[in-house]
Amino acid sequence: MTAGLVYLTLVPSENEAELLCALLRTEGLTCDQRPTNLSVGMMDGMPGGGPREIFVAEQDLARAQEILSASRNND
């Protein structure tokens, strides 16, 4: 799932993870997300809520950080 990808950020929910990955993909970047160990434990191993880690391709990291920073400045 995250092979060849590097960590970008942590978001509080799966919905936010999907939105951020969608934004990054519209910019042509590779993006993936996964539940943190904490979120897996919150649901007794069942898929669902909790924080998510966002990963991007290593060559896309600098651009992804710029996009993330710009999106947070617009809040």
CATH number, domain with residue 16: 3.30.70.1530
Mean pLDDT of the chain: 86
CA 4 – CA 54 distance, rounded (Å): 13
pTM: 0.81
Task: Give the tens place of pLDDT for each residue, 17-44.
Answer: 999 999 999 999 999 999 887 655 555 6
DSSP 24: H
Q: What is the CA radius of gyration of the chain?
A: 12
Sequence-distant (≥ 6) Cβ neighbours of residue 1 within 8 angstroms:
32, 34
- Please tell me the total count of domains within the chain: 1
Host domain of residue 33:
5-73
Of 42, 43, 40, 39, give the one whose Cα is nearest residue 51.
Answer: 39
Average pLDDT of the segment spanning 45-73: 88
> Is residue 12 within 8 Å of residue 36, measured between CB atoms?
no
